[in-house]
A and B are shown apart, each in its own frame.
Chain A
Amino acid sequence: MNHSLLMSILILSPFVGFLINGLRYKKHNYLVAGTIATSAVFISFISAVFLVVDLVGLPPDSRRIAVTFFEWIRVANLSVDAGFVVDQISAIMILIITGVGSLIHLFSVGYMHHDKGVAKYFAYLNLFIFNMLLLVLGDNLLVMFVGWEGVGLCSYLLIGFWFTDETKAAAGMKAFVTNRVGDAAFLLGMFILFLTFGTLNFSELNALVPAAAETSWLGAITLGTLFLFVGATGKSAQIPLYIWLPDAMAGPTPVSALIHAATMVTAGVYMIVRLNPMFMMAPNTMMIIAIIGAATAVMAATIGMTQWDIKKVLAYSTVSQLGYMFLACGVGAFGAAMFHLMTHAFFKALMFLGSGSVIHAMHEEQDIRKMGALKKYLPITHFTFLLGWLAIIGIPPFSGFFSKDEILWMSFHSPLGHPVLWAAGALGATLTAFYMTRLMCLTFWGASRVPKGTHPHESPITMTIPLVVLGVLSVIGGWIGIPHIVSDFLGHLPNVWEEWLHPMIKEVPNMGPADASLEWALIATSVGLASVSALVAYHMYVRKPGSASRVADAMGPAYKIVYNKYFIDEAYFAAIINPLVKGSRALWYYVDVNFIDKCTYWAADVAKGGGALIRSLQNGNMQQYAMYIGIGLVVVLSILLMR
C-alpha cells in the first residue's frame, strides 16, 4: 500500500469525522453520530495497523516510514515540513491512540446516548484523535507543537463540554491556561534548540547531539531540554503544573479515559522519549526530571488516598503514574517509560471506563461513599475493574507489574538513578496499592451504601465490550516486555519490547552489570509492599469499615492537608492568580486611566492654559493693544540702542 495514502487516511479520517459531526452539530441522534465517529477512528486504526505491519517488515535499523505532505513554514534557515513519520516510537503511540481511541468512542456511544450535544461531543473527540496523531506523528518539534496545542484545545472543549455549569467551564479554562504555561516553555525550548542546532527535525536534532554530555546548567541543551520538560509538565500534569488534571474530571468520563489517562497526558513522556538522545546529553535536566517524576508520583498518591470522588481518585492515580513515567525518563529508562505508558494506557483507560460504567449505573453519582457492594449489580464492570486494579498495583503477571518493576529497577540500578528515587517509587507503589484497593473496596465490595431510589444496572453492550477488550489488554499487555531476569527464570522468553525500541533509544552510559539477586530482592520488596498495603486497605475498608475514619482522625491536621490537596490550588490562587487580577485592575485603573491617560489630559491642559493665557492678552481693549505696540516699540528701540 502507498504509505502517503495510508498516512493521509490515518491522519485525516478522524478529521473528516470531525467535519461531518461538526456540521451536524445540531443533531441529537447518538447512534448516527457515534457510528460516524467510531468508524472514523477505526478506519484510522486499521491504516495504523497496516503501517505498523509495513514497518515491521522493514529491517530493524531502517524502520521508518516518513511522509512529507507539504512545506509548512520556510523562513531563512527555518524550514518546517508538514512531515509525518512512523517509527518504532510513534508506531506504539498510533496503535494506542487509535486502538484505545476506538474503544473509547465505542464506549461513548452508550455513555452519551442521552446527551443533547452528542454530535458535538463526537466531533470534539475525533478532533482530539486528529490532533493527537499530529502530535505523535510529526517529524519535527513544530508539527508536534501543533498537535500539542491542538490536544490541549480539544481537552479544553471536552472538559467544558457541559458548559452551562460554571465550574466545568472554569475547569476547562484552567486546563487550557495551565497547559499554555507549559506550551510557552515548550516554545522557548524550541527556540533554544533551533538556534543551537538550526533545525527542529527530530532525526536531525538527535543526529546533531554532541557526543559529550553537557554539565553546565545554562548550556543550550540543558536549558532547551529543561524548557521542553516544563512544557511536558504542563501537558503531562507533573509538579508544578499538575493542578489542572483533577479538575479536568469535570468532563464526560470517556473523555477522562481517553484524554486524561490514556493519550494526551502521556504526550510529555512521548516527547522526551522522542528526543531521548538530546535529553541524555543533559544530565542536569535528567536529574530534574527524575526528581519531579518521583515527587509527583508520591505526592499525587498521597492525595489519591483521601479523595472521595471516584474520578478524582483515578485522576490523582494518573498523575502519580505519569510521575513514574517521568521517573523512568529521568533515569534513562526510556523504554520502560514507553512501556509503562502503554500498560498504563490500557489499565487506566479501563478503570476510567469502568468508573464511567459505575457512574452511569449510579445515575451520575461519583461519590464513593454512596456506593459499595456494586459487585453484584455490575458483574462485568467489576471483573474488568478488578483486572485493572491488579495491573496498577503491580501484581505479577498483570501488565502493570512488568512496566513498574522495570522502572523501579532502573531507578535503582541506572547510573542516573539513586536509591532515594527507588525508595520514592516503591513508596508510591505502596500508596498506589492502598488507594486503589480502597477504591475497589468502597465501590464494589463491602456493605452497600447506595441511597434508596437508585437502582444500579449493568451498562449496555457498547460499553462493556471496550471494558472487556481493555481488561484483556491489561492482563497480557505486559507480556511483550518481560524483564530479562524474569524471562531467564521462565525460560528465555523474548523481550519483544526492548528489541523493538532498541534502535531509537540511546543507552545509558556506564550501565553496570545487573546483579540478579539484588533485582529479585527489589522485585520482591515492591510486590510485597504493594500486597501488604492492599491487604491493609482491604482490612480497613471492608473488614472494619470504621477504622479508616479513626485513622484519619488520628492523623489530624496532616490528613486535612492531604485531603485538601496540600492547598496547592489555594496557594496558586493566593500567590499568582488573585494578585494578577487585582494587580491588573490596579494597573488599568491607576496606571492606564489615571496616569497615562491623565498625562494626555495634562498635555491638553497645558495647551489650553497657554491658549487662555494668550487669549487674555486679546481682551478687546484697544488701548491695551496700543500698549502692546508701545511695549514692542520700547523693546525694539532699546535693543537697537544697546548695540
Chain B
Amino acid sequence: MQSIDIFGQIGLNHYLILSALLFVTGMAGVLLRRNIIVLLMSIELMLNAVNISFIAFGKYMNQLDGQILVFFVMTIAAAEAAVGLAIAVNIFKRYKEVNIRFFEHLKG
C-alpha cells in the first residue's frame, strides 16, 4: 500500500483499475444485452479496456512491446467487428431480428 492519497498521485494501479472497470462494463453488456450489435459493441469495449492495460504497463515498464500488442489487438478487433457484423447482417436478413435468442441453435 503505497499511499492513502489515491487522488493525489496517479500510478499504474489507477490505469489498471480503470481498465478493469471498463472491461467489466463491457462484459456486463455481453452478458445482459439482447441486441447482437450492442453485444459486438460491448466486446469492443472490453478490447479497449485491455488496450488501456497494455499501454499503461508499457508506459510504466518502459517498453514499447505493449504498444505493439495494442496494435495487433486493434487490427484483430477491427476484423472481428467486420466478421461479427457480417454475421449479424446475415441473421437479420433471415430472421428480421437482431435478438441473440436466435443464435440458440448450439443446443446440446
Contact = CB atoms under 8 A, between A and B. Distances in A.
B32 interface: yes
A627 B31 CA distance: 7
Tell me the interface secondary structure of chain A in the complex: helix
Interface in B26-84: 27, 30-32
A627 to B, nearest CB: 6
A619 interface: yes
A630 B27 contact: yes
Contacts of A614: 108
A622 B107 contact: no
A623 B32 CA distance: 7
Most B CB contacts (10 A, CB to CB) among A614, A617, A621 go to: A621
B5 interface: no
A623 B107 contact: no
B108 A615 contact: yes
A618 B107 contact: yes
A512 interface: no
Interface size class of A (residues with CB under 8 A): 10 to 19
A615 B108 CA distance: 6
A620 interface: yes
A619 B27 contact: no
B30 A619 contact: no
Interface stretch (B11-19, B86-94, B97-105): B97-105
A619 B107 contact: yes
Contacts of B30: 623, 626
Contacts of B10: none
B44 to A, nearest CB: 15
B105 A623 contact: no
B4 interface: no
B1 interface: no
Contacts of B108: 614-615, 617-620
B106 A623 contact: no
Interface string A590-631: 000000000000000000000000110111111100110010
A621 B34 CA distance: 11
Contacts of A623: 30-32, 100
A622 B32 contact: no
Nearest to A625: B106
Contacts of B31: 623, 626-627, 630
Contacts of B100: 621-623
B27 A622 contact: no
Interface of B: 27, 30-32, 100-101, 103-108
Closest 6 interchain pairs by CB?
A: A618-B108, A620-B104, A620-B107, A620-B106, A615-B108, A623-B31
9 contacts: A618-B106, A618-B107, A618-B108, A620-B105, A621-B104, A622-B100, A622-B104, A623-B31, A627-B31
Given A620-B106, A630-B27, 7 more contacts: A614-B108, A617-B108, A619-B104, A621-B104, A622-B103, A623-B31, A626-B27
